[in-house]
Amino acid sequence: MERRLNWGLIGGGEGSQIGAAHRIAAALDRKFRLVAGALDVDPERGREFAARCGIDAARAYGDWREMLERERVLAPDAGRLDLVTVATPNVTHYAIAKAFLEAGFDVLCEKPLTTTVEDGAALVAAAKARRRVLAVNYGYSGYPLIRQARAMALSGELGRIRVVVAEFAHGFHASAADAGNPRVRWRYDPRQMGASSVLADVGCHALHLACYAIGQEVRSVAADFASCVAGRELEDDAMLALRFSGGAVGRLWASAVAAGQMHGLTLRVFGERGGLRWAQEQPNQLYWAPSGEPTRILERGAEGLSPEAARASRIVVGHVEGMLGAFANVYADLAEALAARRENRRPAPPGPAYPTGAEGAHSVAVVHAAARSAAAGGRWVEV
Amino acid sequence: MERRLNWGLIGGGEGSQIGAAHRIAAALDRKFRLVAGALDVDPERGREFAARCGIDAARAYGDWREMLERERVLAPDAGRLDLVTVATPNVTHYAIAKAFLEAGFDVLCEKPLTTTVEDGAALVAAAKARRRVLAVNYGYSGYPLIRQARAMALSGELGRIRVVVAEFAHGFHASAADAGNPRVRWRYDPRQMGASSVLADVGCHALHLACYAIGQEVRSVAADFASCVAGRELEDDAMLALRFSGGAVGRLWASAVAAGQMHGLTLRVFGERGGLRWAQEQPNQLYWAPSGEPTRILERGAEGLSPEAARASRIVVGHVEGMLGAFANVYADLAEALAARRENRRPAPPGPAYPTGAEGAHSVAVVHAAARSAAAGGRWVEV
Amino acid sequence: MERRLNWGLIGGGEGSQIGAAHRIAAALDRKFRLVAGALDVDPERGREFAARCGIDAARAYGDWREMLERERVLAPDAGRLDLVTVATPNVTHYAIAKAFLEAGFDVLCEKPLTTTVEDGAALVAAAKARRRVLAVNYGYSGYPLIRQARAMALSGELGRIRVVVAEFAHGFHASAADAGNPRVRWRYDPRQMGASSVLADVGCHALHLACYAIGQEVRSVAADFASCVAGRELEDDAMLALRFSGGAVGRLWASAVAAGQMHGLTLRVFGERGGLRWAQEQPNQLYWAPSGEPTRILERGAEGLSPEAARASRIVVGHVEGMLGAFANVYADLAEALAARRENRRPAPPGPAYPTGAEGAHSVAVVHAAARSAAAGGRWVEV
Amino acid sequence: MERRLNWGLIGGGEGSQIGAAHRIAAALDRKFRLVAGALDVDPERGREFAARCGIDAARAYGDWREMLERERVLAPDAGRLDLVTVATPNVTHYAIAKAFLEAGFDVLCEKPLTTTVEDGAALVAAAKARRRVLAVNYGYSGYPLIRQARAMALSGELGRIRVVVAEFAHGFHASAADAGNPRVRWRYDPRQMGASSVLADVGCHALHLACYAIGQEVRSVAADFASCVAGRELEDDAMLALRFSGGAVGRLWASAVAAGQMHGLTLRVFGERGGLRWAQEQPNQLYWAPSGEPTRILERGAEGLSPEAARASRIVVGHVEGMLGAFANVYADLAEALAARRENRRPAPPGPAYPTGAEGAHSVAVVHAAARSAAAGGRWVEV
């Protein structure tokens, strides 16, 4: 049996949605085994929960510093961690990821990678200096048909990309009555969120998908932020105009007050040779309209898709794969990247396409540029 | 039998899509009879086509000036025109509409009402001075479920409106090979279009729907214009951030290079008490999400809709009514408004809601403000 | 101007949905002018309503016999009727249509053509004997994309047809509380409906579409009828297995108790070379899956459709055409057929495809065969 | 940490789609650990693959008989199997499941449970005699919104159930060119499939869902079988009329020649108080139309759903859960049932709802009755 990789988790304790998603996703393909963790800000609760997650008591830690001290000395044949996932509150990402990278660990960090642009750049530099993998969990990039869209854009099948339209607009913070609820309120508090709320929180997923799908970075941005619910200091609705490195034009809308919308993450890409559209709530279909021809419905798992998309599917066409499969693809990509490095070879084609730390740092930079633009009356700001 | 109103048409000659739509729409409910017209820029062709449309030779004119001279002297009992529709090229709207208004005729003008802000205001003033009806054919406002959305917004059922999202994005000008085609090229020529192309051409429909549905005007706008196909001087893709008179925030996207999209006109309205979404390509359903409850699918023609929506339906629930029905509702509204004035009464409730000349002038002003904003690097511009 | 055809209407008085639909549809293309009618079972009400419909008093009749007596003697240059539409209660179709056919009129009859198989055959024979047009208003056959499906099936593009699946299942009679309502109750009374209710009432539309789309007749049928609401003597839910003349297999479901479904008329055709699906509630798209390739979305009005479909569209692609347009296509087909006969030429290609009396008679025969099958425990019955 | 249950797998070797699905599903919630298996008909290949699945060599068997001999003697504290899954070819289900049940193991068997009615009954009896759990993997029953539909039907919220409409119609066997392919051909060979092909193969899923959702069994059936591709002895298209134990009427269509359809599994339930519809290809939405009110879209994971549906969700509303999650729910139900028995308590409410052996045997009986009906010209056959 192929050796399962040793995996450590920081944060994501009991009741954390994202923690549960990571545990399922990492285990889905039997590539990772959860062997160490500091799962909770409360040491006792964290150790107790770690036990229920199957972590040996010896590697169930009260906090990440303790974990780092003890794990850094383990040799590979003593179960040294192959990957550490950071799923703690945003403001702590930088310190934890930096410490583990500098101790020689490979790291997958929840989004946003950091809360400042400088920290993002520093993490990328740290990973580079130590030749470590640094990934950021823009997990929607793991959807097979997002991989298909990316393959079509990068291969030139779409022609030069003209316009990318992305949305992440939900209605879960639309209730004024609920605005004071602590679970909601902190998201609109600049002391905890920095300069942006809904854009930093969910809009960044749409932003990353746009960049990821077309293989371009954002060069400049003009933004409009609005606070629709009384008392909010940060925006709960944002619109961005974008210019990309390859010449594409971008339109992005993020909202938390779009009453009735679920996690309304959608992506449309329009090139010289046709257009694509995809929606996270129906992720097993990609609509592809080659210029001048009828729109085609590309099905996940069908024949004729790109190797990148084919590799990312687990079950046959006509069934539904969902978010956990997408997240699992990020872990599968990381497993392959780690294996390739270990075996001193190139990753098996078509190679991993996990969202990189550099992409995470770029997203942070765009969000900050957008906040500056919005504060400056919508003028264009370079990233 | 109720008297059919005497209707005159200027422009909309053979081969004109919009002319055919007007003729069908005006006749659909047997409220108007086409009795006079100057249908073509070529007098002979116009007269010949008028004959085929059933217009008596005596009232088939070679041009609108001739038509005006002859029609203005007719007494009501000699068949004086009850309504004149102007469906000529945009740059001629002002002169024709002004002349007919000043001669005492009621006028329905194709959109855009005028090509300058000043002309728009002047037409509205002329109509007011003569107490004439001036309407503009934002025909999508005639869809029954748009009337429903408006009724729900104006009645307070949605609560205070927070965000309006509107799109009109098609792909019919996406072909670079076709960009030189004269039928496409003129639309991107500032000498013929003024300061805006796709926004003025189709985005204005989305803009009008947004205003119409929530009963608010635009106070300020920040815009981004892009020309995606080489050689175009005017924008073929535009994005607008908006602030409305009642405090609503707007996001609007217009495009002519959205390959694979048909007439992608959609409207979403989010208020304190819930959200609505509607798409022109599936106009018989309105999705209504009251806060905290499952989304409901409101069907055109179903029981429980507002009187405004009920009045605008011709066939029973479960069938499809389309664009011609929507246009016909504008004519029906005009017929009722004219009848009410003639009979010195108020229009029968819920009263006409045809798109007014003032709305048409406002759209022109917003488009011009957007063009100024885009030219000025996206800064906010007052309307 | 092309002469508008003289049109007479029997039935379809005030408040009748179907009467209003006929009047709009016949007038939509300015091909027919309503000049005579016996619109109501109450002579006075009929004459009064005729006046409001613009019919001269001289040709507004108290009943169809009076109309026949007076209209039969008119010469063509005195305004003789070019077409008579019969939109009276089902049980009267036969006598009226027969009398008008025998008097030399061309007839469009509402569905069902007759209430007995023999009467259907007799009407077809009468039309043939007098070389008159006899059409039946299976109006959904006028949808442009149904014409497209038919063209694809008849041209061989689908290969041999294997399976046709058709539904007309609504929920408008699902309320037990409403079952005693006279407007509902008569539909389940064998004295008024004969041997079948929901199948004869709406299932016949699905049945006709199936035959029409593939150009085959039903050879045998096995049926299951169920009465789901207490007290109903006739079926409110029916399922049919079918075998067609060209070897196709059919599955048909009709229901009046499908709570929550609107006019759920859908059609799916599966051939050796691919499959098609269409739904009346979204009639501007046809889904076409060529074998082994992604499904394509064919849009009404788009380039590349068959001439039959192109001819049946009035407005450009991307807008919605609905039921009135479909009905109007039946009238347009009839106008062309009548013109061709008058001018002693073949109908202009691709020729009319109005639903014929023979098709109407066939539908009646299939419904009766199905009723016999259901009564006989579901055994196969030849048509 | 809660003890993970010891799980054994028979069949489902390398390259088997269903085997992979079981392994992912059983592991998804960390409730089962794969500790023993006879995974392949080829002993060497089976042992080798078992190793790659993490099974100790000592418990990697060459065939199921060897596995039974060795596993039956293990004591609970020596790792005795808590559950054995049978995922071998259909004809072997009976012998394997019987042997393991009689040796005191709890068994989950792939569908169809058996190939004869008698064998199905015998398995159910064997399980009852030994008080063992016998489940059948109608895995679609694990979808959260199917659980919701069942809860609504069983609670009376839908009123008396009138009509159930179920489909499983795909196009993967539509290619005549591919009909001779051994992977397809055996499915239409009566020596391997018995009396039914597409109904037994996939139609049984639709059948089970119909029964499961309304909590009724089938009492009688009338069927039509058709072989649309030349050379097939068994049906590739089937339609069933059904009568259920609680009075509901059923309509079921199964096909393998529905070109362009993916795994077209859909379910509609119509009761006195409203209707439901659900499609496997969009499983995160359930459309609920209460009588006389607009249709509501119920979202998986949303508030207000039944406890049965809430318990079956792993991720928050607005994301997509797919087939693996549904299968995992069957395993979760089994884990709870086993735990409850072990702890001598009732399963935690709302209790497990895994598809039972009795349901599996019932499906077999209905399929056989349908085959008899089809062979007898469609007459009604008691189950």
Q: How far is B288 from chain D (nearest CA, A)?
A: 9
Place of tokens 């419909």: C53
Last residue of a domain, one of C136, C160, C177: C136
Q: Could you tell me if B354 and B328 are in contact, meaning their C-beta atoms sit under 8 angstroms apart?
A: no
Q: Do residues D378 and C381 touch, judged by C-beta distance below 8 A?
A: no
> What CATH number is given to the structural domain containing B182?
3.30.360.10
- The answer to whether residues B174 and B301 belong to one domain is yes
Which position has the higher pLDDT, B37 or A2?
B37
Q: What is the mean pLDDT of residues B233-238?
A: 97
Q: What is the pLDDT of residue D2?
A: 65
Asked, for residue B339, whether it belongs to a domain, the answer is: no
AA letter at A293: E
Looking at the fold, whether A149 and A124 belong to one and the same domain comes out as no
Q: How confident is the model at residue C244 (pLDDT cuts 50, 70, 90)?
A: very high
Q: Please, are residues A320 and D300 in contact by the beta-carbon 8 Å criterion?
A: no
Together in a domain, C207 and C68: no
Cα separation, B285 vs B305, whole angstroms: 12
pLDDT tens per residue across span D166-207: 999 999 999 998 888 988 999 999 988 888 999 999 999 999
Rounded Cα distance between D284 and D323, Å, is 11
Residues of D in contact with A320 (CB under 8 A): 280-283, 320-323
Report the residue of A224, A236, A380 to disrupt the B interface, i.e. the one with the largest count of B CBs within 10 Å.
A224
Task: Tell me how many domains chain A contains.
Answer: 2
pLDDT at B2: 66
- Distance separating alpha carbons of residues B30 and B352, to the nearest angstrom: 17
- Asked if residue B355 belongs to a domain, the reply is no
The C-alpha atoms of residue D266 and residue C268 are separated, in whole angstroms, by: 15
For D152, the token pair is: 């609504």
Domain assignment present for residue B178? The answer is yes
Query: Is the Cβ of C21 closer than 8 Å to some Cβ of chain B?
Result: yes
Q: Is D253 on the interface with C (CB under 8 A)?
A: yes
- How confident is the model over B100-139, as pLDDT tens digits? 999 999 999 999 999 999 999 999 999 999 999 999 999 9
Q: What pLDDT was estimated at residue A95? A: 98
Chain B hits for A174, CB-CB cut-off 8 Å, are 162, 270, 272, 275, 291
Last residue of a domain, one of C86, C110, C136: C136
From the CA of C291, how many Å to the nearest CA of chain D? 6
CA distance D125 to D106: 14
Dist CA B160 CA B172 (whole Å):
37
Indicate whether B84 belongs to any domain. yes
Q: Please name the member of A237, A274, A292 whose beta carbon is closest to the beta carbon of B163.
A: A237
Please check whether residue C283 touches B, CB under 8 A: yes
B130 and B164, same structural domain?
no
Measured CA to CA, the distance from residue A93 to residue A207 in angstroms comes to: 20
- For residues C265 and C168, is the Cβ–Cβ distance under 8 A? yes
ipTM of the complex as predicted: 0.95
What does the radius of gyration of chain A's CA atoms come to, in whole angstroms? 21
A279 C-beta neighbours (distance < 10 Å), count: 17
Q: Residue C57: which CATH number? A: 3.40.50.720
Contact D257 C162 (CB under 8 A): yes
Distance CA(A154)–CA(A147), nearest Å, equals 10
pLDDT computed for residue D369 by the predictor: 98
Rounded Cα–Cα distance for residues B81 and B68 (Å): 11
Chain B partners within 8 Å of D292 (Cβ): 303
Answer whether residue C210 shows pLDDT above 90: yes
DSSP tag of A37? E
Q: Which residues contact D239 (CB under 8 A, 6 or more apart)?
A: C239, C241, C251, D223, D224, D251, D252, D253, D254
- Nearest chain D residue to A33 by CA distance is D30
Region of poorest pLDDT, from A118-127, B48-57, B186-195, B294-303? B186-195
Report yes or no: A379 at the B interface, CB cutoff 8 Å.
yes
D231: β partners: none
Tell me the mean pLDDT in the region C188-208: 94
DSSP string, D295-335: EEEEETT-TT--HHHHHT--S-TTS---HHHHHHHHHHHHH
Q: What residues in B contact D297, CB-CB < 8 Å?
A: 294-297
| B312 within a domain of the structure (yes/no) | yes
**pLDDT at residue C349, as a whole number:** 82
- The CA distance from D307 to the nearest CA of chain A, in Å, is 18
Name the residue range of residue D279's domain: 141-351+360-382
Q: Which helix (H) or strand (E) holds C182?
A: helix C182-185
- Which H/E stretch holds residue C295? strand C295-299
Q: Backbone phi, then psi, for A187, in 5-degree steps?
A: -70, -15
Q: How large is the average pLDDT for residues B79-86?
A: 97
Residue C277 and residue C12: Cα distance in Å, rounded? 33
Question: A276-335 pLDDT, tens per residue?
Answer: 999 999 999 999 999 999 999 999 999 999 999 999 999 999 999 999 999 999 999 999
pLDDT attached to residue D1: 46
Sign for the pseudo-dihedral over CA of A109, A115, A119, A125 = positive
Burial class (CB in 10 A: 0-12, 13-18, 19+), C181: exposed
Tell me chain C's radius of gyration from C-alpha atoms: 21
Alpha helices in D343-380 (DSSP H): 357-375
What's the CA gap between C104 and C135, in Å, rounded? Answer: 14
Cα-based distances in Å from A314 to A283, A310, C143, D52, D326: 14, 9, 41, 17, 15
The closest alpha carbon to B180, from B192, B169, B189, B171, belongs to B189
> C277–D260: do the CB atoms touch at under 8 Å?
yes
Closest residue, chain C, to B168 (C-alpha): C318
Cβ of A18 under 8 Å from any chain D Cβ? Answer: no
pLDDT band at C2 (very low <50, low <70, confident <90, very high): low
Task: Report percent pLDDT > 90 for chain D.
Answer: 91
Helix, strand, coil percentages (3-state) for chain A, rounded to 5, are: 40, 25, 40
Strands B218-226 and B295-299: unpaired
C-alpha count within 13 angstroms, C-beta hemisphere, residue B77: 0
User: Tokens at residue C179, please?
Assistant: 């079952």
Helix/strand/coil (H, E, C) string of chain B?
CCCCEEEEEEECCCCCHHHHHHHHHHHHCCCEEEEEEECCCCHHHHHHHHHHCCCCHHHECCCHHHHHHHHCCCCHHHCCCCEEEEECCHHHHHHHHHHHHHCCCCEEECCCCCCCHHHHHHHHHHHHHHCCCEEECCHHHHCHHHHHHHHHHHCCCCCCEEEEEEEEECCCCCCCCCCCCHHHHHHHCHHHHCCCCHHHHHHHHHHHHHHHHHCCCEEEEEEEEECCCCCCCCCCEEEEEEEECCCCEEEEEEECCCCCCCCEEEEEEEECCEEEEEECCCCCEEEEEECCCCEEEEECCCCCCCHHHHHCCCCCCCCCCCHHHHHHHHHHHHHHHHHHHHCCCCCCCCCCCCCEHHHHHHHHHHHHHHHHHHHCCCCCEEC
∠ Cα B110 B115 B117 (to 5°): 110
Examine the pLDDT at A373 and tell me if it is beyond 60: yes
Maximum Cα–Cα distance across chain C: 63
Give yes or no: residues C55 and C116 share one domain: yes
Res. C1: pLDDT tops 80: no
User: Is residue A1 predicted with pLDDT exceeding 70?
Assistant: no
Across B334-362, average pLDDT? 93
Q: Does A257 touch chain B (CB under 8 A)?
A: yes
Kind of pairing between the strands at B32-38 and B5-11: parallel
**CB C171 to CB D287 under 8 A?**
no
Q: What is the mean pLDDT of residues A212-233?
A: 97
pLDDT of residue A322: 94
Query: Which residue in D249, D267, D372, D380 has the most chain C C-beta atoms within 10 A of its own C-beta, making it the best mutation to test that interface?
Result: D249
Closest CA to A260 of B295, D317, B163: B295
- pLDDT per residue as tens digits for the range D38-62: 999 999 999 999 999 999 999 999 9
3-state helix, strand, coil in chain C (%, to 5): 40, 25, 40
pLDDT surpassing 60 at residue B350: yes
Whether B340 maps to a domain, the answer reads no
**What is the rounded average pLDDT for all residues in chain A?**
96
| Sheet strands (E) in chain D | 5-11, 32-38, 83-87, 107-109, 134-136, 161-169, 218-226, 237-244, 249-255, 264-271, 274-279, 285-290, 295-299, 381-382
Beta-carbon separation of B317 and C262 below 8 A? yes
Same domain, B72 and B189: no
Chain B closest-CA separation from residue A362 CA (Å) = 22
Least confident range from A190-199, A255-264, A292-301: namely A190-199
Specify the pLDDT at position B351.
Answer: 82
With a cut of 70, say whether residue A2 has pLDDT above it: no
Would the pLDDT of D291 be above 70? yes
D262 touches chain A (CB under 8 A): yes
Together in a domain, B243 and B109: no
Inter-chain contact B297–D299, Cβ cutoff 8 Å? no
According to DSSP, the β-strands at D264-271 and D161-169 are antiparallel
Same domain, B66 and B211: no
B379 touching chain A per CB within 8 A: yes
Residues C81-124 have pLDDT tens digits of 999 999 999 999 999 999 999 999 999 999 999 999 999 999 99
Are both D52 and D69 inside the same structural domain?
yes
pLDDT of residue C283: 97
Decide if C288 and D165 are in contact by the 8 Å CB cutoff.
Answer: no
Residue C76: CB atoms within 10 A of its CB come to: 10
Q: Does one domain contain both D165 and D183?
A: yes
- Would you say residue B214 lies in a domain? yes
The answer to whether residue D352 scores a pLDDT higher than 90 is no
Using CA atoms, how far apart are residues A276 and A296, in angstroms rounded to an integer?
10
Mean pLDDT of chain D: 96
* Residues B280 and B366 placed together within one structural domain of the fold: yes
Residue partners of C287: CB distance under 8 A and separation at least 6:
C276, C277, C278, C295, C296, C297, C298, D260
Q: What is the pLDDT of residue A194?
A: 86
In a domain, B179, yes or no: yes
- List the single residue in B with minimal CA-CA distance to A164: B258
In whole angstroms, what separates CA B18 from the centre of its chain? Answer: 11
Which of D136, D163, D189 is the last residue before a domain boundary? D136
Report the residue of chain B nearest D301, measured CA to CA: B294
Share of chain A above pLDDT 90, in %: 91
Report residue D214: phi and psi, to 5°.
-105, -5
The amino acid occupying position C221 is: V
Q: How many CB pairs under 8 A join A and D?
A: 104
Are D201 and D306 in the same domain? yes
